[in-house]
Structure 1
Amino acid sequence: MAPAIMMAADKVELSPANTGFMLICSALVMLMTPGLAFFYGGMVRVKSTLNMLMMSFISLGIVTILWTLYGFSLAFGTDSGHVIGWNSDWVGLSNIGLTELWGTYNIPIFVFMVFQLMFAIITPALISGALADRVKFTAWALFVALWATVVYFPVAHWVWGEGGWAFDMGVIDFAGGTAVHINAGAAALGVILVIGKRVGFKKDPMRPHSLPLVMLGAGLLWFGWFGFNAGSWLGNDDGVGALMFVNTQIATAAAMLAWLIYEKIRHGAFTTLGAASGAVAGLVAITPSGGAVSPLGAIAVGAIAGVLCAMAVGLKYKFGYDDSLDVVGVHLVGGVVGSLLIGLFASGHGQSTVEGLFYGGGLTQFWKQCAGVFAVLAYSLVASAILAFLLDKTIGMRVTEDEEVAGIDQAEHAETAYDFSGAGGGVAGSAPAPALAAAQSKKVDA
């Protein structure tokens, strides 16, 4: 996804085919955010469903405006000190020509801008899964705005911006292992260490209320991820985008199967939640590595990520941090695994000639990957914790204990996901609301 510099001798003409392809990919990536909302929304309890949906949806609004005003300029503008970009002509997107091309690529700047916007939108939305049930919606909205500005925009420049330090070092991140998944996973860990656990953590049942919603969300994510990954080669016709598409499917399948096998051995059952989580773990792990590894390498990346992420989700009970929907276990761990395995499985026949350890290239690329992974992890963890601390000490991050127990949907949105007031008709349908609510509370694990 790296930009290129337009040289005077280059004669690049706009490609309608590539432009159309990238607009389709942008739409696919946009669909991932509603898909994520369903995925997370089904994993929470009934009383938190709408809040979980809204925590993803609000990112579509906030990040779009910030990206338009200054985010695109900070992430992809002219480099300053290898840490941030800036281009005053891009502020408000007001001085970009309709047919002005992105570097030496044959797509308009507007197309690249909107494709990258969809990445910027989904990254803070990923964080929300760790904070289910307990965060004020206003505080969350402010956190999204601050985090995108202070963390995502600079990190995107490090990794993908011309002149960014990780870009110049040669850290490989095809479509977002560091900039998206490690970034979001580390941020989630930083915030939950500040705001604390849900009421009843490790005591009360907190099972997913709708596994069909989880599977629907996972399916939408899998579908949209092809645009996320294959589109990150920006329509180049050298076959690397096709390789990435193929590897995305392969690694996701391998991770899902590996998670289910581990789950059967460890817990005695193949679960739908495990299948969905395993698929997402594979998608996460192949995101940075899919342009560098072969299809056989993709199987290895997916299988390793599936097992390690399945093991990692249980760490919250061992160490006592309340990662509600396993953002740390899937996105942070999956992003780290996928990024580091490039140093082992890079074949030299994909996006670059870089070879990993198993292909005779030694550990040079592995150490570069380590530098990128742990720098992003540390920066995001610390910066996110500081932002959460400041918000908590000013406006407060959490709802009250009574509001959390009663249900954050009612407290923050004055709505509920499911209306049972007319369920079944007859006597049940005419029951007074309090009586019906009491009856439902016995049937539904809230």
Structure 2
Amino acid sequence: MSYDYDLLVIGAGSGGLAASKRAASYGAKVAIVENDLVGGTCVIRGCVPKKLMVYASTFSHLYDDAVGYGWSEVKPSFDWKKLVEVVDNEVMRLNQVHIKLLEKAGVELIKGLGRFVDPHTVDVGDRQITADKILIAVGGAPVKPENIPGIEHTITSREMFHLPEFPKRFAVLGGGYIGVEFAGIMNGLGAEVTEIIRREKILRGFDEDIRTDIQAGMTEHGVNFLTNTEIEKIEKTDEGLKLTLTGDNESLVVDTILCATGRKPKPQLDPLNLDNAGVEVRDEAIAVTEDSATSQPHIYAVGDCTDRLNLTPVAIAEGRAFADTVFGHIPRYISHKGVPSAVFAQPEGATVGMTEKEAIADFGEDRVKVYRGRFRPMFHSLTGANEKVMVKLVVEKTTDRVLGVHMVGKDAAEIIQGMAIAVNMGATKKDFDATIGIHPSTSEEFVTLR
């Protein structure tokens, strides 16, 4: 049977872009369907604009820090509308860059919402498109809890980058990395920030020392945490949005509430009519094998819509591995172990490998050795700020292998990226000890831990 394309990709985010360009490089005729800006969540309303806002928010601390080094005090002012404008300009620039890269690769961009008609046919507007192979890469979307009256008055991370006015009183519902990062951003920009979490600590799933130290650092910076707390209802009043809270907490009135309680593939999958294609959905995500194949042998899925490991570089790697396997005839798949990640909180945290708890669960407490250090970074020796850095190695005693590396502090992500190479190569504690450090630096502490 003859098809319009060798490959049709649904979704021009990180995974879809990477897969389409790689498949085209092997000579495949490729088209990609997108109903939004090109670039996906990361570029449009995720890691890129958010990191720019993180940068913006750190300047407020630097004005204070500079005084300790002999600079005179200043009274800076901040223009929220300018920040929103310049961040949006950069997002639009990147959108155009990705469009041009598709053109250069020979990939056709089709604007519109793709819906399956049958396993080989996708309807986009008034056009029906057939393809031999189809890749689904539509990502995920924020979801709100349905059991809170007034939850419609909250916003999600999608709207954070386009708020018309700067909220002087800001509340965050949720203790995941998105909520933690935006709490730090808004606090740094001058808002009064309250973060409401159901548990005792933020960042569930991260190493306990990362959770503890980031939360302590954020508290030191002025973020107010309401722990073991839930929202009973939200009301719109003349004074602002009123939150009625559980327990002995008094009601809270704020200007804006960010609902950061999680992201799911389902909102992105529902419009696709996957039943028409016979693609299995399991636990609200597309069910795939390790090589990203779905229940239909010619349909694949990568990235957040599979809900495996929801990180931009992972989606890119999965997309390229799919193209290499199917069109390059170089079979391979991506391991989701040993993937480094970071939380661009204030203070920043980063991690690779096993947490202490995971290592003990796998090897037993007697076989796990933890090396940990906490100290004031040299930068703050003159600022007077109560800042701390935490560095940590999790080691398996029998083999001396480093199972996990964790850090909280400035440039944690930059440092852990290099550590990830060592962890994935199977480096031992002796290898770390035999490495001479760069002095004076924070990173040298990893090779001097005893």
TM-score when scaled to structure 1? 0.25
> Which of the pair is proportionally richer in strand?
2
Higher relative contact order (CA closer than 8 Å, sequence separation 6+): 1
> Which of the pair is proportionally richer in helix?
1
- Decide which structure has the larger Cα Rg and report it: 2
